[in-house]
Structure 1
Amino acid sequence: MQQTKISLSISMLLITASLTTSSAHAIAGLSANATVSNNYLWRGVTQTNNAAAISGGIDYQHSSGFAVGTWASNADWAQNMSYELDVYASYSNSLDNGLGYNLGYIYYAYDSDAESDFSELNLSLSYDAYSISYHTLVSSDADGSFGDDSYLSADAAFDIAPELTLAFHLGYYDFDAGGDYRDYGVSLSKGGFSFGLFDTDLDGADGELNVVISYSTNIDL
């Protein structure tokens, strides 16, 4: 959650003091994140009309595996829309054989005039570098019913050098009303920096290759 020896020394002292203060007031499990990006893609489709995005959130992770959080970004994929605000809760754990699992609920909220809110339940399994996730609709302002729409994805992430990760993604969005599509992508990240190529099999602008460059930072609160 982006000279002289004297000025450098002063800078290091200020940083050290800041870190010390943060640690003294830290709340275990509480963190914040912030990201800037040239585009906000969600399941392969731009949510900002191919414009830049600024996003951030706050999360609380309990040692038991329960977590809650909220996240917000500018968004512009429907009329009268300017932002997205997500609220979510989850439980995660792992088995003795190394298989990890996560159960979660997420509510996607937008400007009230946009009438685009919806919510999902999700389940994900992970093992080593691989993971699969399944999301299904709970309800929506568009009169969607439980289970009408679902999204299945598979991901893999490999450390190819110290702190350098190569990740692959493949997803399939199934709509009860039609318009199903696949999305796929590959990204390279180090530290908070990420460079990715993403595409879908949709026609038109949503089927064009997207290059996404972003930088994220995480902060313990």
Structure 2
Amino acid sequence: MKKTLIVASILGAVSAMSSTSAMAVDGLSANAAVTSNYFWRGMTQTADAAAVSGGIDYAAESGFYAGTWVSNLANDTETDLYLGFSGETDSVSYDVGYVYYNYANPGQELDFGEIYGSVTFGALTLGLAVLANEEAGDFDFGDSTYVSADYAVEVAPGLEAAFHIGSYDGDFAVEGVDIGASLSKDGFTFGIIESDRDGQNLEAYVSYAVDFDL
């Protein structure tokens, strides 16, 4: 299916869901997106093909949240399940939680979970993700870590520039460093990314995402 048809299908589904929702549920929201290439920690997950994704989230006023997110992969489907807690003070915001990555292909034992945390100081966010468990049982807690730094700033009304660097390390990881930069406006994003993991060269992608209350 052509990317333009994928976008049209997503927007049609979003419109239908919005118009048929009889009653909004406080704290419940959904998201949908299409991208020309799905990257995770600097590596394409779709063999440089397009991906369509979507998710549902619940966020309470206390700071607790939970949700699920689904995307197609090259020869598989990824479903993420997560829960966490976020909050902020006068100058710092934080987010801690657990995410479980589930893959549909049976018999490959690829599923794994991570504990993650991040702190944000103004435009700068520092993050850490640590392996918590994995389906095959060959690795232990802490056998991989991913540390990252992200900086995002509004460079014009409604236009955000973002910069990223991350490092994946450990026995469970495909070790390497990834860097990226992007420009986003009104749900559209154009980005570039490069990684030394598996010799990933500089690549570009475009995406469009929408969020809406349920």
CA RMSD of aligned residues (A): 1.9
2:34 equivalent in structure 1: 36
Q: Which structure 1 residue ranges, 4+ long, deviate > 3 Å from structure 2?
A: 18-22
Residue 120 (structure 2) aligns with: 126
Structure 2 alignment gaps of length 5 or more: 1-6, 8-14
Cα pair distance change 1:165/1:176, threshold 3 Å: same
Shift of 1:178: 7.0
- Is the 2:139–2:172 contact (alpha carbons within 8 Å) kept by the matching residues of 1? no
Quick one: which of 116, 119, 123 aligns to 2:110? 116
Q: Does 1:199 align with 2:183?
A: no
Task: Report matched runs for 1:122-201 at 5 Å.
Answer: 122-142=116-136, 143-176=138-171, 179-201=174-196
Structure 2 CA distance for partners of 1:177 and 1:137, relative to 1, 3 Å: closer
Task: Figure out how many residues of one structure are paired with residues of the other and give that number.
Answer: 198
Q: Which residue of 1 aligns with 2:100?
A: 107
Normalization by structure 2: what TM-score? 0.87
Structure 1 gaps of 5+ residues are: 3-14
In the TM superposition, what whole-angstrom CA distance separates every residue of 1:63-122 from its partner, at most 9, and x where no partner exists?
00000000000013xxxx4100000001001123x1111111000000223320000000
Q: CA deviation at 1:158?
A: 0.4
1:58 partner letter: I
Q: Could you say if the C-alpha distance between residues 178 and 197 of structure 1 is closer, same or farther in structure 2, counting changes exceeding 3 Å?
A: closer
TM-score by length of 1: 0.84
Instruction: Tell me by how many angstroms 1:177 deviates.
Output: 5.7
CA separation of 1:179 and 1:113: change in aligned 2, threshold 3 A: closer
Choose the corresponding residue for 2:51, options 43, 53, 58: 53
Point out the structure with max Rg over C-alpha: 1
- One-letter code aligned to 2:48: N
- Residue 93 of structure 2 is aligned to residue 95 of structure 1: no
Relative to 1, partners in 2 of residues 1:178 and 1:93: Cα closer, same or farther, differing over 3 Å? closer
AA aligned opposite 2:46? T
**CA distance in 2: counterparts of 1:203 and 1:115, whole angstroms:** 22
Find the aligned partners of 1:115 and 1:126 in 2 and give their Cα distance.
34
User: Could you say if the C-alpha distance between residues 33 and 179 of structure 1 is closer, same or farther in structure 2, counting changes exceeding 3 Å?
Assistant: closer
